Amino acid sequence: MEESPRLKLSSLLSDGAILQRNKINTLWGNFKRNALVTIKFEDKVLSTICDANGKFKLDLPAHEAGGPFELIITSLNEKVVIKKVYFGDVWLLAGQSNMQLMFNRLLEKYPKELSKAKDKLIHYFKVPEHYQFNEPMTDIYEGKWFDAIKNNLLNVSGIGYFFAKYLRKYSNVPIGIVQTAVGGTSIRSWVSEEVLKTIGEMPHDYDTLKNQDLVNHFVKESNTYQDQYEDDRNMFDYGLKGSWAKNSIDSTWQSIDINKDFPEKFKTSGVVWLKTTIEVPENMVNQDAILHLGTLIDADETFVNGKKIGEVSYQYPPRHYKIGKIKRKVEITIRLKIDQKIGGFRKGKNRYIQINNNILDLNKCNWFAKRGCSMPSRKQCFFPQYLPSGLFNGMIYPLRNFSFNGIIWYQGESDTHEPVNYGKVFIKLIQEWRKIFSNVNLPFLFVQLPNCGIEPNHNWGRLRSEQEKALILDNTGMAVTIGDGEDNDLHPLNKKVVAKKLFELSERIKKWTHGCASGPIADQAYLNNDGVVIKFNTFGRKLVIDERLIFKLSQCGTLYTLNKFQVNDENIVVKIPEDIKIKDDAVISYAQENTAHPNLFDTDRNCAAPFKLKINNYYHIPSVLTHVLEEM
């Protein structure tokens, strides 16, 4: 903030704000230099003087939960009244798209939730998306608080909302959620330049980003390329020239099975047109219908009987298009725009027409394809917000004066292609955020990545292991979510399950303060006379297995599958066949696949975290994470 001609407070301090109960809350803003600023709250009157830059800041004493209240701020002839202020618990939501995923994407999974959202004591603030490479921004100038009710819920983080609902039910105090997550971002976007440099994680040419004109040039150049690529694709597409959306198929169209990989001729970049025809039962004609196509790679324009009914510009959102009053004969045409080398329908998705409670299955229909044009692979768009430190400077540092009860973090998908050192960066991120929020014990809860198989060349197993390293810090909690994902979707819809795990962790870390998880964590593996002993921290529960449980033993370049073991309360003894001698490089692992599903639980059916442990020759002194300590 700089000197302002009008009395102004941070956008976080506006109507509907939730302030953290039982903690000192800082109030800040700006006006004219040396101006006296007075704040009235209940029977308290607080005053301070603006500094040479017009900034002011003062502390509101800790207050128990309650509200609504008014804050009255005056200076010279200016007066600002902040209404509907409550004291409760405030949580910061951070990460990338799965944390960001708004409720408008979850209506298929939770169709009744919108009408049930009536609690006016859950308030939501979305921090405007800003990046900055030169120096941290001092404040946020946009944004407002909303009640998370009815249609307002459509723009609220799904995980954040369900998490807040659980908190409300448990604590019965007002809940504020402040959302900073940005889709597609790497963890390094959320760490300062200073910290990344100290751990050797800052690109050598980073300083070029401090030239904003150059960044703007990169953005403009990228946008020009993207626009030209789209123009060329449209120009070369025979399907547009020939009005294939309106014309029926002929002998030049090839029959395909949309439940399998596309034939090679239809996979590659360019445009592929797809068609099918379905007869609607007479009793359903002229009723409102919705077309559900799952997800496609990459973009689509979709037509019914020659009329365009919808489009999506990238691969991840599920397609739900309103048809309107449906006719007896329905011809569906999809103009599929493929950007890279492998396009088509995402396998395993349901595709259907919904007419009230009736379903017409499109996966069983005869589909036909014809290539409209071929194109070179499309270059990735340039997104400055994906680059190191930009979002820390633009979205985290400006919140430093605000008091939070804790942080929930869901991120990592964008780092699975290069997971090495993620854990080191993650630990530094947590430490830095606690420092700027002036609370070394600030609870930090995070989601370990679930099962997902859409990126077979990325190492989700290694990323999960790197995430777990953060549990070496006190007051951290990890929600284990293998089995909660969707193997064919980057954005699983069951956010309520994940939110519940995070809520339970928010209570569990009050007892298990030295790093805990929603389920058992393998602490170490060592040899004894009976085999390999895997020692777990079960956080007060016992181990439970199902009959499909297997372990993998890797040594000297050979991989063995082991399925004989004995389970005790907090450890498993894995039997080693007599013909296998454990070597010095031996490692035992569980659930390391990208699409891993759980076979190991505790007595409350919380799944155990995946692990990959070096086998020691003896039992080490117990630690929450012995294997992490060995690697640090």
pLDDT tens-place string over residues 247-288: 999 999 999 999 999 999 999 999 999 999 999 999 999 999
Tell me the pLDDT of the chain averaged across its residues.
Answer: 96
Residue 474 pLDDT > 50, yes or no? Answer: yes
User: What is the pLDDT confidence band of residue 622, given thresholds at 50, 70 and 90?
Assistant: low
**CB 88 within 8 Å of CB 176:** yes
CA contacts within 13 A on the Cβ side of 236: 16
3-class secondary-structure state, position 213: helix
Count of other CB atoms within 10 angstroms of residue 561? 8
Fold match flag (8-202+388-508 vs 236-374): no
Tokens of 10: 């941070």
Q: How far apart are CA 416 and CA 425, in angstroms?
A: 14
Pick the CATH number of 236-374 from 3.40.50.10860, 3.60.20.10, 2.60.120.260, 2.40.160.60: 2.60.120.260
| CATH code of the domain made up of 8-202+388-508 | 3.40.50.1110
Of all residues in the chain, the percent with pLDDT exceeding 90 is 95
CATH of range 521-631; options 3.40.50.1820, 3.40.1190.20, 3.40.50.10790, 2.60.40.1220: 2.60.40.1220
Query: For residue 631, is pLDDT > 80?
Result: no
The span from the CA of 481 to the CA of 591, in Å, is: 12
Give the mean model confidence (pLDDT) for residues 400-408.
99
pLDDT on residue 50: 96
Report the Cα 436 to chain-centroid distance in Å.
23
Q: How many residues does the chain have?
A: 632
Q: Provide the pLDDT for residue 5.
A: 84
> 574-599 pLDDT, tens per residue?
999 999 999 999 999 999 999 999 99
How is the chain split into domains, by residue range? 8-202+388-508, 236-374, 521-631
Q: Does position 619 have pLDDT exceeding 80, yes or no?
A: no
Q: Which of 256, 70, 93 has the alpha carbon at shortest distance from 163?
A: 93
User: Which pLDDT band, with edges at 50, 70 and 90, does 569 fall under?
Assistant: confident
Mean pLDDT of 335-351: 94
For the cut 60, the answer to whether the pLDDT of residue 427 exceeds it is yes
pLDDT per residue over 140-181, tens digit each? 989 999 999 999 999 999 999 999 999 999 999 999 999 999
**Tokens representing residue 346 in the block:** 């995402």
Mean pLDDT, residues 333-345: 95
- 2 pLDDT exceeds 80? no
Q: Band of the pLDDT at 625, cuts 50, 70, 90?
A: low
Residue 484: pLDDT above 90?
yes
Confidence of residue 632 (pLDDT cuts 50, 70, 90): very low
What are 48-70's pLDDT values in tens digits? 999 999 999 999 999 999 999 99
Each residue's pLDDT tens digit, 4-13: 789 999 999 9
Q: Which token pair is 379? A: 């270059």
- The tens digit of pLDDT for each residue in 110-126 reads 999 999 999 999 999 99
Give the C-alpha separation, 593 to 475, whole Å. 29
Q: Which of 311, 350, 353 is nearest to 328 (CA)?
A: 353
Band of pLDDT at residue 618, cut at 50, 70 and 90? confident
* Whole-number pLDDT of residue 600: 98
Which pLDDT score, from 0 to 100, does residue 86 have? 99
pTM, full prediction: 0.95
